Amino acid sequence: MTIEQTPLEDCFVINEKVNGDGRGYFIETYNQRDFKAATGLDIEFVQDNQSRSSKGVLRGLHMQNGNSAQAKLVRVVEGAVLDIAVDLRKNSPSFGKHFGIELTADNHKQFFVPAGFAHGFIVLSEYATFLYKVDKFYQPGNEVGIIYNDIDLNIDWRLKPNEIRLSEKDKSLGTFADYLTSI
């Protein structure tokens, strides 16, 4: 495993070793001991989630706040997504900044998103299957979010606005300015 620090504090790209031959490949996708040694973070994941979405589906930007804030380890096993993390930790040197990475079934990259970050992704391929581990259980009353096209964050989602498909819930998320007034 190799770990790349992103421009966001405590947010990492993880490259796992792919062992392959003519039969296929094997990847150890998570090892708590190695993760802790490489990052210094002692994370205990409690739940695995999976979603499958078609091209243009954008899920996010979401986070759990307070004691429900979740760290996530995300990856793609089918297709390709642009994955985005936004640092919403008030005292962080990277507060209000975002980072994006393309995760694909072929590049086998994983993305560690710490607690206190908003997270979202958009499907770039015909379909994508997205997997993520979280270290806290979901609490419906503690979810907050920021609208994907917030002018202050200015995230390039790579697709044209008319190609983006949102849930009704994600269409009604507030702005980054709204979030700032709530903290």
Q: Which residues are catalytic?
A: 62, 132
* Six-digit token string for 59: 């899920």
Q: Using CA of residue 83, residue 47, residue 40, residue 70, what is the dihedral sign?
A: positive
Residue 125: strand pairing partners: none
Calpha distance 37→46 (Å, rounded): 20
Strands 80-87 and 98-104: antiparallel
Q: In terms of Cα–Cα distance, which of 107, 92, 183 is closest to 146?
A: 183
